[in-house]
Chain A
Amino acid sequence: SAVISQKPSRDICQRGTSLTIQCQVDSQVTMMFWYRQQPGQSLTLIATANQGSEATYESGFVIDKFPISRPNLTFSTLTVSNMSPEDSSIYLCSVEPYSEGGTDTQYFGPGTRLTVL
Chain B
Amino acid sequence: QKEVEQNSGPLSVPEGAIASLNCTYSDRGSQSFFWYRQYSGKSPELIMSIYSNGDKEDGRFTAQLNKASQYVSLLIRDSQPSDSATYLCAVTGYSGNTPLVFGKGTRLSVIA
Contact = CB atoms under 8 A, between A and B. Distances in A.
Interface string B65-106: 000000000000000000000001000100111111111110
A85 to B, nearest CB: 20
Nearest to B98: A104
A92 B70 CA distance: 28
Contact-size category for B? 20 to 34
Q: How large is the interface on A (under 10, 10 to 19, 20 to 34, 35 or more residues)?
A: 20 to 34
Contacts of B42: 110-111
A90 B86 CA distance: 16
A105 B97 contact: no
Contacts of A101: 96-97
Interface in B44-64: 44-46, 49, 51
Contacts, number: 61
B43 A96 contact: no
A103 B95 contact: yes
B76 to A, nearest CB: 20
A102 B104 CA distance: 25
A115 to B, nearest CB: 13
B88 A42 contact: yes
17 contacts: A42-B88, A42-B105, A48-B99, A96-B96, A101-B96, A102-B96, A103-B32, A104-B49, A104-B95, A104-B96, A104-B98, A105-B32, A105-B46, A105-B49, A106-B46, A106-B100, A109-B43
